[in-house]
Amino acid sequence: MGLTSRSAAEIYTVRLQRGVAARWREWGELAIQGLLLFAAMVSVFTTLGIVAVLVVEAIPFFQQVSLVEFLTDPQWTPLFAQKHFGILPLVAGTFLTSAVALALAMPVGLLSAIYLSEYAPVRVRAILKPALEVLAGIPTVVYGYFALLFVTPLLKRVVPDLETFNALSAGLTMGVMIIPLISSLSEDALYAVPSSLREAAYALGATRLEVALRVVIPAALSGIVASFILAASRAVGETMIVAIAAGQRPILTLDPRRAIETMTAYIVQVSLGDTPHGTLEFRTIFAVGLVLFLLTLVFNLIALRIIERYREVYR
């Protein structure tokens, strides 16, 4: 050893000093960090901005229309001479189309997820799964015209008294659109169930169906429920299909054969119509938009909570 302990310590200190290059590097890292933060904040601020606009525009509306009237009046006629501002007919319309859509999409989506995850041979799964996901990529306007020009005439043959614009056709078509969402998310949840659990069940003499029903589905339940809730949120927010095929008649009914109007369709109607900006009539869309936003927000929060809990299970 040629070095005394002192000179070794000196070398060490020298090496620890930051040079110009190191400072540049630090600045560089700081800049990149800032850029990434900015990117992340863009979406946060956009969301906040949207909420702010909704609230700010809705406030003058609620100064003229009481919250009680808004929530309880059974009529929605802001664009007529005899004005009523009860959101219930729009909520009923949204509920109706969403319920029809979910009644179709939940069972079909879940069954196809079970098939893909538990029954399909590897090769079938490799083809079917992406194919299903392509369905989700079809523009909703295509679904809308499909509902109006194809599904409705078909339904008219079997459903008596079906109006040309109706909740049933729009709802069913929306259901078809949502199937891939449910099937894909549920399938992820089912597939994530460790195969050791399936083996355990088989080794106890369970059949394939029993393994699926009693082990895999219960273990994946929160993921499946989360997919249902996300689908509900999607159905509530869906616009094009209902605007095209469900009609623009805000009546308070739960009869799916009739023309109705959903919250989203109403917003489209006013936004594209000739209602002057700044009027009470125009502000209705912000009040409706706020309700819609709160509804989907609640759905998404619930789904997130459930998914989080579900992640913990196999930690």
Partner 1 sequence: MEEIVLETQNLTVYYNGRPAIEGISLRIPRRRITAIIGPSGCGKSTLLRCFNRMNDLIPSARVTGRVLFEGVDLYGPDVDVVEVRRRIGMVFQKPNPFPKSIYENVAFGPRIQGIRDRRKLDEIVERCLRAAALWDEVKDKLHQNALTLSGGQQQRLCIARALATEPEVLLMDEPASALDPIATMKIEDLMRELAREYTIVIVTHNMQQAARVSDYTAFMLAGEDRVGRLIEFGPTQQIFTRPRDRRTEDYITGRFG
The residue ranges that bind partner 1 (CB under 8 A) are 121, 194, 196-197, 199-207, 210, 214-215, 218-219, 313-314
Closest by Cα among 139, 104, 156 to 239? 139
Q: How far is the CB of 206 from partner 1 (least distance, A)?
A: 5
In degrees, rounded to 5, the angle at the alpha carbon of residue 225 between the alpha carbons of residues 221 and 227 is 120
- Comparing CB distances to partner 1, the nearer of 128 and 206 is 206
Pick 74 or 218: Cβ nearer partner 1: 218
CB of 107 to partner 1, least distance (A): 24
The least distance separating partner 1 from the CB of residue 194, rounded to whole angstroms, comes to: 7
Joined tokens for residue 2: 């040629």
At 194, is the secondary structure helix, strand, or coil?
coil
Structure tokens at 117: 């995850």
CB of 195 to partner 1, least distance (A): 9
Give Cα 200 distance to the centre of its chain. Answer: 35
Measure Cα distances from 54 to 72, 79, 203, 291 in Å.
21, 20, 57, 10
Least distance from partner 1 to the Cβ atom of residue 122, Å: 8
Residue 206 or residue 225: which is nearer to partner 1 going by CB? Answer: 206
DSSP 275: P
Quick one: 31 or 204, whose CB is closer to partner 1?
A: 204
Nearer to partner 1, 151 or 219 (CB): 219
